[in-house]
Amino acid sequence: MDEAFFNTLLITFKLAGLTTLVLLAIGIPLAYFLVYSKSWFKNLIEALVSLPIVLPPTVIGFYLLVAFSADHPFGHYLMDTFGIRLNFTFTGILIGSIIYSLPFMVHPIQAGLQHLPPSLKEASWSLGKSAQTTLFKVLLPNIKPALLSGIVLSFAHTVGEFGLILMIGGNIPGKTRVASIAIYDEVESLNYGLANQYALVLILIAFLILFMLFYLNRKYLSRKDYD
Amino acid sequence: MFLKIWLCLLTGFLFTLPPKDTKQVKRKDLKQDESKAITIAAASDLRYAMDSLVKVFHKEHPEIKVNLIYGSSGKFYSQIVNGAPFDLLFSADIAYPQKLQQQSLTASAIQLYAIGRIVLWSKKINVSQKGMNALKEVSINKVAIANPVHAPYGKRAEESLKYYKLYDQLKSKLVLGENISQTAQYATSGAADVGIIALSLALNPQIRSQGKYYLIPENSHQKLEQAFVVLKRAEKNKSASVFSSFVSSASAKGVLTKYGFTLPK
């Protein structure tokens, strides 16, 4: 049982970690676009990005389940071109998690960027720096609390995911059985002791992460002169 | 620099993709090479019996790794149709393997392994003495059955209730478990005052010690013919056929009988 316990936790944190990393890469440009762009379809993108917060996870899970299956054009394309099927695989639940936790990364960064005084960006531009350099050397360093918020929220949200993973993951031990599903499974088996073990570990780690977040936030990152 | 980060992440992401077949370009994901592991999707009523079966199996074949997943038969059927990576399906209702066979998703003949029975179970009410009349008690707030839509035991429970003309008055009190195992959990935790669960689960020492059960007469519902089949994905998987033959062996039959299953004639 110990090996299974360890494996389950490993998959859980691997999923959360990878989701967070990918979301950082996707979230920053998206947030930048939403804050600084003057495009007409900004509202559309904003609504789409916020959709996963409002939708029940099973809705996303359902559509992904259908999209991944070989009968659907997307799933068929994946099968033909790459020879892979995403249902019931780790990659499948990774994609699901990325969609599901997207707003939790984008919103904090968006809020952070929005609260920066425009003079920062303008000063950097007027000194001849490119938009990219400005983003990475001026803007992002000034919204570190927001970035940290986004990272922690996405990570924690993914760890807590249940309905979506259950739908497209299939509870396959060693591949898609994450801690939240394992707890459900053990309760069903009346193994309350084991369920409790998983739950305690999750609470402990969640608490540690949050504690670290607030501690770091207070100590290192809240030294802003213009707040 | 942004591009570099993107490329790194994309590469990392690609590593999470399942390994590809080294052979053809147009790969059919349905077949599995000979392997030393099998994934079994088992109906929830087998929860303790199958655990036991796998233990006995491991004594004779310690090198074969068995991944067990429990759930309702109907749910597994949908998942298999959608490409779930299971090698064997142990269904609580023969109808599902039959449907799979019709869609050419099976790789062996369908084998009947047991006849299931449903029981009335309650923590507080003495159902073993009162029988179905226990359901007429006013004190009952919630009755747990498995979801008739996709759980065979739930369907039979519904049929029994209708047979005894109790369905209409109990309909508003019904609590549906996602599978028969969850239904049992509702009953044993006291969340439901009484539940209709599988005999195989009721006989489990953990559950047995917590309440009383009453064997519901077989003539009140359709037979629970439980069958298993090797799935198309495991066509070439020798371990799957080894397990398959094991289930028909005398030692396996002994385990099933011990857990309250009637063996098919």
Q: Which two tokens stand for residue B102?
A: 């019709």
Residues in chain B within 8 Å Cβ distance of A185:
70
Q: Across the interface, which of B26, B47, B185 has its CB nearest the CB of A187?
A: B185
Residues in chain A within 8 Å Cβ distance of B71:
171
Looking at residues B24-40, what average pLDDT do you find?
Answer: 56
Q: Across the interface, which of A29, A87, A188 has its CB nearest the CB of B182?
A: A188
**Which tens digit of pLDDT belongs to each residue from A175-196?**
889 999 999 888 888 888 989 9
More confident site: B256 or A68: B256
In this structure, the number of other CB atoms found within 10 A of the CB of residue A126 comes to 9
Q: Which residues of A touch B (CB under 8 A)?
A: 18, 21-22, 25, 29, 65, 68-70, 79-80, 82-85, 87-91, 94, 132, 136, 170-174, 185, 187-190
Q: Which of A162, A160, A149, A159 is closest to A210 using CA atoms?
A: A149
Q: Which of A150, A46, A28, A154 is closest to A100 using CA atoms?
A: A154
Query: In whole angstroms, what is the distance from residue B238 CA to residue B37 CA?
Result: 9
Looking at residues B59-81, what average pLDDT do you find?
Answer: 90
Burial (CB < 10 A; 0-12, 13-18, 19+), residue A26, is: middle
DSSP track, B78-126: HHHHTT---SEEEESSTHHHHHHHHTT-BSS--EEEEEE-EEEEESSS-
Residue type, A119: S
Looking at residues B169-173, what average pLDDT do you find?
Answer: 93
Give the pTM. Answer: 0.79
Which residues of chain A fall short of a pLDDT of 50? Answer: 227
**Which tens digit of pLDDT belongs to each residue from B190-205?**
899 999 999 999 998 8
